[in-house]
Amino acid sequence: MYTQSHQDPVSVESQYDVVWIPVVDKSTEWNEARQQLFKNHQLNMPWYSVYHPFLINPAVFIYIQEVRHLNKKPILVVLDPQGKLVSNNAFHMLWIWGMQGFPFTRAREAELWKQQTWGIKLLADSINEDISNWIKEENYICLYGGENIDWIREFIATARKVAEATSIPLQILYVGKSNSNEEQVRKIVDTITVEKLSHSLQEYHQVWFFWQRLESMWHSKTQLGCTVENDPLLLEINTLLSFDKNHEGWAVFCRGTTMAVAKSETILQSLKDFDSWKTHVEDKDFVTALNHHLNQL
């Protein structure tokens, strides 16, 4: 994002620079290996950095940790040209909107949310090029997650059977689980690929980005004072994050801004009950009919 924004030096989005302040525990043994690792990080960064972590006054570390609430995750603090604080952590806006969030003020954040509606574009358009093409082609899209490969096999088989019965163009994509490690993700993705079950996010960083972006939406909304009681978008985001805690799995069917989401046993049972609600598909959009049945359950 930094490189892209600085390709045009006169653009508004390029009018910033980044300074890396490496926060290192002073009790950490600083040997040759750590020094080399630190230098490698510096060389890989296109921005400024403090020359050495131990040059930073201990009081600065205390300030960053206590006032800027730094824990184990990096934060991106934004200051305006006068040095005034604009954002305690702009990573949330960056993951959601990229450089569209510039200059990362609270007002800009609120403005961008006013332009959003809950749908597949907000949820996943930026994570995979295939999704953008499916949206343009007006396909029905199913995103699903979880780690239970037996449930995945049964769910995919049932979903394809229903799609065939209704003659809808359905694309199915596996997006993983938020707390899975790279080895777990690779194992499931390999199984899905070998058995030709569905599409999947092939790289671990894509899975990470999908969930990081969704969590960033939650943080962004809550920092603006929204609650699940007064904000429909936050309610949908919260629902997906809560379903991810379910080991079995979950799925969301969508087309445009019409979405139907449920956790493993509920969504699977709804698809198995298709004969009882298939007449509604003739009167309504498939996702709307599915959502109606899920609400009844």
Same domain, 280 and 135: yes
Give, as one character, the DSSP assignment of residue 81: T
- Supply the pLDDT for residue 247: 65
Same domain, 87 and 142: no
Q: What is the pLDDT of residues 85-135, one digit of tens each?
A: 999 889 999 999 988 899 999 999 999 999 999 999 999 877 888 898 999
- Supply the pLDDT for residue 95: 93
State the residue range of the domain holding 254: 120-296
Same domain, 57 and 9: yes
Q: What is the pLDDT of residues 231-262, one digit of tens each?
A: 999 999 999 999 888 667 899 999 988 899 99
Q: State how far the Cα of 95 lies from the Cα of 39, in Å rounded to an integer.
A: 26
Give, as one character, the DSSP assignment of residue 250: E
- Supply the pLDDT for residue 181: 87
Same domain, 146 and 228: yes
Same domain, 46 and 187: no
Same domain, 104 and 126: no
| Low-confidence residues of the chain: pLDDT under 70 | 246-247, 283
Total count of residues recorded for the chain: 297
Count up the domains in the chain and report the number.
2
Same domain, 69 and 124: no
- Supply the pLDDT for residue 150: 94
- Supply the pLDDT for residue 72: 79
- Supply the pLDDT for residue 278: 84
Same domain, 59 and 204: no
- Supply the pLDDT for residue 276: 87
Look at residues 81, 98, 114 and tell me which one is the last residue of a structural domain: 114
Q: State how far the Cα of 291 lies from the Cα of 297, in Å rounded to an integer.
A: 10
- Supply the pLDDT for residue 63: 87
Concatenated DSSP letters for 92-131?
HHHHHHGGGGTT--HHHHHHHHHT--SSHHHHHTTT-HHH
Q: State how far the Cα of 192 lies from the Cα of 174, in Å rounded to an integer.
A: 9
Look at residues 59, 91, 114 and tell me which one is the last residue of a structural domain: 114
Same domain, 124 and 199: yes
Same domain, 192 and 262: yes
Same domain, 108 and 174: no
Look at residues 114, 142, 168 and tell me which one is the last residue of a structural domain: 114
Same domain, 51 and 136: no
